[in-house]
């Protein structure tokens, strides 16, 4: 299957192809085109668009495209992938639901990759996937240690309150265990 998104990749447009290739479509082929051509080329090529406005596998509310793919393809039972989604969300969006400390590091790493001079988005994706392999291994270890929500940091803008997350089963806010 072909998958298509905007060119000049960064966090979500690297994380999504990694997720798709590893867990959804092992034979995936990725296309990266100018933003204003994504839907037209998707139609012509029969490709699935992701991380573009107004598509099923895009941002919805405060969720990033990685999280949309997790839900669409029933991958939310893998708690390590869910935690990785929170990290990707924190790195990719300004209005994040999650304040994972790892998100800031991932954003810095992604920005660094953009300055390494890759010839195209496919080459950059190939180089960055090792970062997502390592983060997934880290998330698996967090889950194994009984920390499926990862490590949280204090949100200094809220004076001594912890960042909240939502219980996926109930939709209710919960405090992280200290």
Residue that wins the pLDDT comparison between 93 and 42: 42
Torsion of CA 147, 153, 154, 156, to 10 degrees: -160
Question: Is the pLDDT score of 162 beyond 50?
Answer: no
Those residues whose C-beta lies under 8 Å from the C-beta of residue 33, and which sit 6 or more positions away, are 4, 6, 7, 41
Tell me, what's the pLDDT at 62?
A: 86
Question: Is the pLDDT score of 72 beyond 60?
Answer: yes
Question: Is the pLDDT score of 154 beyond 60?
Answer: no
Kindly indicate the confidence band of residue 156, based on its pLDDT and cuts at 50, 70 and 90. Answer: very low
- Torsion over CA: 70, 72, 110, 28 (sign): positive
Residue that wins the pLDDT comparison between 140 and 97: 140
User: What 8-state DSSP symbol labels residue 4?
Assistant: E
Question: Is the pLDDT score of 148 beyond 90?
Answer: no
d(CA 19, CA 26): 10
pLDDT digits (tens, 9 = 90+) for 43-67: 999 999 999 999 999 999 889 999 9
C-beta separation of 127 from 114 below 8 A: no
**Based on C-alpha coordinates, what's the Rg of the chain?**
16
Picking from 1, 30, 27, 2, the residue whose alpha carbon sits closest to that of residue 15 is 30
pLDDT digits (tens, 9 = 90+) for 81-121: 999 999 999 888 876 666 788 988 999 999 999 999 999 99
Q: Which two tokens stand for residue 84?
A: 């990785």
Question: Is the pLDDT score of 175 beyond 60?
Answer: no
């Amino acid at each position: 299957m072909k998958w298509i998104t905007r060119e000049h990749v960064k966090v979500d447009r690297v994380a999504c192809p990694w997720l798709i290739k590893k867990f959804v479509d092992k034979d995936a082929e990725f296309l990266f085109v100018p933003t204003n051509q994504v839907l037209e080329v998707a139609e012509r090529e029969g490709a699935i668009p992701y991380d573009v406005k107004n598509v099923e596998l895009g941002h919805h509310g405060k969720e990033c495209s990685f999280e949309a793919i997790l839900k669409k393809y029933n991958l939310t039972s893998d708690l390590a992938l869910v935690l990785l989604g929170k990290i990707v969300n924190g790195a990719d969006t300004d209005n994040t639901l999650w304040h994972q400390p790892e998100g800031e590091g991932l954003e810095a790493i992604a920005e660094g990759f953009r300055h390494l001079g890759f010839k195209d988005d496919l080459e950059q994706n190939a180089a960055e996937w090792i970062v997502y392999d390592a983060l997934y291994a880290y998330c698996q270890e967090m889950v194994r240690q009984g920390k499926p929500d990862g490590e949280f940091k204090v949100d200094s803008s809220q004076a001594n309150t912890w960042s909240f997350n939502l219980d996926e089963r109930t939709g209710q806010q919960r405090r992280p265990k200290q």
